Amino acid sequence: MDGYDWSLRVRDLVKVFNQKVRANDGITLTVEPGEVYGLLGPNGAGKSTLVKQVIGLLAPDAGTIALGPHDLVADPDAARQLCSYLPQAQMPIASFRAREAIDITGMIRGGDSESVARRRDELIEALDIGEWHNTLGARLSGGVRRLVGFAMVTVCPGRVVVLDEPTNDVDPLRRRLLWQEVRRLGDAGVAVLLVTHNVMEAERAVDRLAVIDRGRLLAEGTPSSLKAEDRGRLRLQVMLAPRAETPELPPFVQHHTRVGHNLLTVIAEAEAAHAIGWAQELIGLGLAEEYALGATTLEDVYIRLTGDVEAGGGTVP
């Protein structure tokens, strides 16, 4: 050990665009080495702005970002060397063979060709993309291209690895493989900053997470600590009939939100029997088609905090 504190330390970060939009409004957080830290929030919450300051693409208006002995705001070159970044957009590798793209980025990141080749083979196997290792990027499906991008970014990882929606387009089986690799990064002492709005996935993958909205950090903690406030509550999910209006809500519904035909409600455990009765009544009236009652999830916390319904792919229990 070199005696430095290799946690990523963001303090009071402020970024203002066009002198009025406060994209980051005093954000403070710490990501420890070995930790997978989720950054959750709706579109426009300020997640990407935060991340781009960490990796040295944007300069904050106020606040500090430190990693080890380095001030990443003053030294964006250090930020680029110490942080690896998988953007949300696809990688520009149309004319690269998958293997080649991983190798070149590994060597750009300072790896020697031998260890890059070894680690590349391991990643290709671990992510189960071997059959495409010699395929041009232009001919890869979106999901495989995404996995190649992940391998490019992590073949020689920095102290911090920033992953912006890493599982987009990736099939369910390979998603699990990818999360295993994220875990391995953590085990190797890398601080992983995971940007997502897929709450269900984040709940399983992260050690801690922060919910961000309108440039502010609304809550931070482990998934269970964030759900603690919802202890004693249940979620009742009602699938409304096509074109049905949102029905009048009984007084025991504490929060609700509607995503398409999905009506998500949070109720007290003691009201479970009433809630089931209400849902069956809706079905009887032809206003709903089915319902599910279950434990509250991180998604309910997220909706309560942000008032936002955009929880991509995470609405089905």
Partner 1 sequence: MTALAPPAALRSGLGYWWHSYRMMLRWEITSLRLVLPVTVMVQVLTGAGFVLALGLFFGRVPPRAALFVSTGVVVLTLTTIGLVLGPQLIAQQKAEQTYDFLWSLPVPRTTAAFAWLTTNLVLGLPGMLVALGVAQLRYDLDLHVSPAIVPAVLLTLLTGTMIGYALAHALGNPMLIAAITQLFIFVILGFSPINFPADQLPDWLAALHRWLPLAPMADTVRAGLTVGVVEDVTRSYLVLGAWAAASVGATAAILRRRG
Sites of contact with partner 1 (CB under 8 A) = 2, 6, 52, 55-59, 70, 76-78, 80-83, 85-92, 94-96, 100, 104-105, 107-110, 115, 118-119, 122, 136, 138, 156-159, 184-185, 188-190
Q: Are strands 62-67 and 216-221 parallel, antiparallel or unpaired?
A: unpaired
Shortest distance in whole angstroms from residue 153 CB to partner 1: 9
Of 160 and 266, which CB lies nearer to partner 1 in the complex structure? 160
Residue with tokens 């430190």: 66
Shortest distance in whole angstroms from residue 220 CB to partner 1: 24
- Show contacts of 126-130: CB within 8 Å, 24+ apart: 126/177, 126/180, 126/181, 127/151, 127/174, 127/177, 127/178, 127/181, 128/173, 128/174, 128/177, 129/98, 129/174
Number of neighbours of residue 17 by Cβ within 10 angstroms: 12
Axis crossing angle, helix 142-154 with helix 172-187, rounded to the nearest 10: 10
SS3 306: helix
Shortest distance in whole angstroms from residue 125 CB to partner 1: 11
Of 26 and 68, which CB lies nearer to partner 1 in the complex structure? 68
Of 85 and 291, which CB lies nearer to partner 1 in the complex structure? 85
> Which candidate, 296, 164, 302, places its Cα nearest to that of 221?
302
Left (φ > 0), alpha (ψ -120 to 50) or beta: where does 12 sit? left
Of 67 and 236, which CB lies nearer to partner 1 in the complex structure? 67
Of 51 and 200, which CB lies nearer to partner 1 in the complex structure? 51
Amino acid at 163: L
Of 147 and 279, which CB lies nearer to partner 1 in the complex structure? 147
Paired with 262 in beta bridges are 239, 259
Shortest distance in whole angstroms from residue 255 CB to partner 1: 35
Shortest distance in whole angstroms from residue 113 CB to partner 1: 11
Amino acid at 267: I
Of 190 and 200, which CB lies nearer to partner 1 in the complex structure? 190
Question: Which residues 6+ apart lie within 8 Å of 99 measured at CB?
Answer: 120, 124, 133, 134
DSSP state of 10: E
Shortest distance in whole angstroms from residue 274 CB to partner 1: 49
Shortest distance in whole angstroms from residue 209 CB to partner 1: 22
